[in-house]
Amino acid sequence: MTQHGPAVDFRDFVDELLAAGDAVAIDRAVDPHLEVGAITRRAYETRSPAPLFGSLVGAAPGFRILGAPAGLGTPGAQEYGRLAAHFGLPRRARPRDILEKLVGAMHAAPLPPVVVADSPCKQNIRTGDAVDLDEFPVPLLHQEDGGPYFGTYGFHVVRSPDGEWTSWSVARTMLHDRNTLVGPAMPQQHIGMIHQMWRARGEHTPWAMVLGAPPAALAAAGMPLPAHVDEGGYVGALTGSPVEVVRTETNGLYVPANAEIVLEGYLSRDETAPEGPMGEYHGYAFSESKPQPVFHVEAVTHRDDPILPVCAAGLPPEENHTVWGTMISAAALDLLRSAGLPVDLAWCSYEAAGCWMVVSVDLRRLREMRTTEAKLVRAVADVLFASHVGWLVPKVVLVADDIDVTDIDQVVWAMATRYHPGTGEYNFPEAPGIPMVPYLTPEEVRSGRGGKSISSCLLPEQFHGTTRGTTASFRGSYPRELQQTVIDNWADYGYR
């Protein structure tokens, strides 16, 4: 193996977290039945290091779980360290650094994966009747879940029948029995589109699922890049080296060679089974299960002492917010900027649980445009709500670029003091959107449209390049030299 580093090798990622004190090796026996989930949830909610479970009740010795693989750290310099490590960025990276790296790679030439001979993911191989998913510590993550979830932080690999498009995408999969899984493959998502192509030919969809993938590949598989774009090529551009892949045992797909666990088989043409309920990323568990397509596992390969990464979805911050939210932000930011809109940054506030994206508007460029609020809002809606990424974003909040959109306190302040009730909100009942949003009416869920808005926190005079007030704050209300003096003397005043 030639690829090393936390972005391209999950083992290196885990080692880096341990070395940085951002993961805790837990040796005592922990039960995959709820206890793994409870510890992982508490780690998110207290912003503690990621739990690495080394001894799991009922599982084969050596089998491990990493919980909260992209949870946040305590507020401060390394808050985003675990996420930054997914991209090979320093642990001190800030959201803007991460976004600019992700956007930059969208404009670099794709570096497609390369096939290699060395493949740790084949250290253990089981095929046919020897496949037994119960051998793994598949966790029941919440007491309200309909079953244990194998895939909460892995990605599907599928390829279009003409071989032109290989899609990597993150979606959940629940254990159905010893060799089948069940989970969503929504028609608007790329796995659903490719599934439909195979179904139209009357065939099952050849499929693999990769767990313990190179972290950058996992994140890219959670990114709404446009259709027909291979996430694999994007990951190469992002990390600067092509992902090393190997052929599956059974179905001719290619998977990252250093993956912890690979499941291979097919996504059934038309067989379904009940899936869920599950504690979900908006922070709720709804009581019903739904019929979803069945994934048949015909081979399992894994590294020695494999590590299954686990996201225990629910209240923020978990990986749906930190990874998915960040990848949505980057894709939307690039889309809006590329359309020539005066956009500084876009950020899906983790605290908003996937329900809104805050967009900061470059006031200098806004003035030059000589536009109005209604026209600006319409332009943002036209670009965003027609796109693959925009389908995922229910609400957009526009703020001026004096607001740091990655700081929720500033966003709340802008919404409270600048959004005008009655005139500041624009509704888009015809815009298509993901039907999982909790507040949608049954009719909106059925039609797949509506429940979408853009709220403007731009003040009328900001369209003409003026702002009536200045900001009364440490940064806004004192001369630069005095600010520096205060900072330099902070300890001398008696502050620690």
* Residues engaged in binding ligand FMN (CB under 6 A): 153, 167, 169-172, 184, 186, 189-190, 222-224, 311, 319-320, 323-324, 392
The three-state (H, E, C) secondary structure of 110-139, written as one string? CCCCEECCCCHHHCEEEEHHHCCHHHCCCC
Find out whether 319 and 312 touch, Cβ atoms under 8 Å.
no
The listed partner (Mn ion, ligand FMN, none) that binds 264, CB under 5 to 8 Å by sort, is none
CB of residue 5 vs ligand FMN: minimum separation in angstroms? 21
The listed partner (Mn ion, ligand FMN, none) that binds 376, CB under 5 to 8 Å by sort, is none
Asked about 275 being catalytic, the answer comes back as: no
Strand order in 23-26's β-sheet? 23-26, 50-53, 64-67, 307-310
Annotated catalytic residue, options 275, 280, 319, 373: 280
CB of residue 70 vs ligand FMN: minimum separation in angstroms? 8
CB of residue 300 vs Mn ion: minimum separation in angstroms? 25
The Cα-based distances of 311 to 95, 172, 295 in angstroms read: 21, 10, 20
The listed partner (Mn ion, ligand FMN, none) that binds 222, CB under 5 to 8 Å by sort, is ligand FMN
Amino acid letter for position 129: D
CB of residue 103 vs Mn ion: minimum separation in angstroms? 17
Find out whether 398 and 361 touch, Cβ atoms under 8 Å.
yes
What distance in Å separates the CA atoms of residue 496 and residue 192, rounded to the nearest whole number?
55
CB of residue 304 vs ligand FMN: minimum separation in angstroms? 26
CB of residue 273 vs ligand FMN: minimum separation in angstroms? 16
Q: Read off the DSSP letter of residue 334.
A: H
42 is written with which tokens? 């508490």
Burial (CB count within 10 angstroms: exposed 0-12, middle 13-18, buried 19+), residue 165: middle
Q: How many residues does the chain have?
A: 496
From 169, 130, 184, 158, select the one nearest 253 (Cα to Cα): 158
* Residues engaged in binding Mn ion (CB under 5 A): 167, 190
Q: Quick one: how many helices (H) and strands (E) in the chain?
A: 15, 21
The listed partner (ligand FMN, Mn ion, none) that binds 184, CB under 5 to 8 Å by sort, is ligand FMN
149 is written with which tokens? 């979830």
Burial (CB count within 10 angstroms: exposed 0-12, middle 13-18, buried 19+), residue 425: middle
Q: What are phi and psi of 423, to 5 degrees?
A: -115, -20
The listed partner (ligand FMN, Mn ion, none) that binds 311, CB under 5 to 8 Å by sort, is ligand FMN
The listed partner (ligand FMN, Mn ion, none) that binds 172, CB under 5 to 8 Å by sort, is ligand FMN
| Active-site amino acid positions | 280
